[in-house]
Amino acid sequence: MSKFQFASTAEDAFAWGAGSHVCPGRFMAEVTIKLILIRLTTKYDMKLSEGGPERLAESKRFMDLTPDTSMPVMLRDLSVR
């Protein structure tokens, strides 16, 4: 198993736990996240709200960079014409 796969575990990466405490549902979570992303990208047109910044500000927590989650995202259903 590659250490670069989404649901893989490693001694230095604790997203899913490690050793005997590793999450047994991590593969189901991986598939669910992928299905949600597929649905969002194929059924909806997405963009940031009008008048907002071109690029969202980032916040840093430990070694993770996360976008500003207070910025609204506009969704348009592509099946409605």
| 7 has a pLDDT exceeding 60 | yes
pTM: 0.66
pLDDT, tens digit, 9 for 90 and up, residues 18-47: 778 888 888 899 899 999 999 999 999 998
Q: Residue 19: left if φ>0, alpha if ψ -120 to 50, beta else—which one?
A: left
Q: How confident is the model at residue 67 (pLDDT cuts 50, 70, 90)?
A: confident
Please tell me whether residue 51 adopts helix, strand or coil conformation. Answer: coil
pLDDT of residue 40: 93
Return the higher-pLDDT residue of 13 and 60: 60
Q: Where in the chain are the domains?
A: 19-77
| 4 has a pLDDT exceeding 70 | no
pLDDT of residue 2: 65
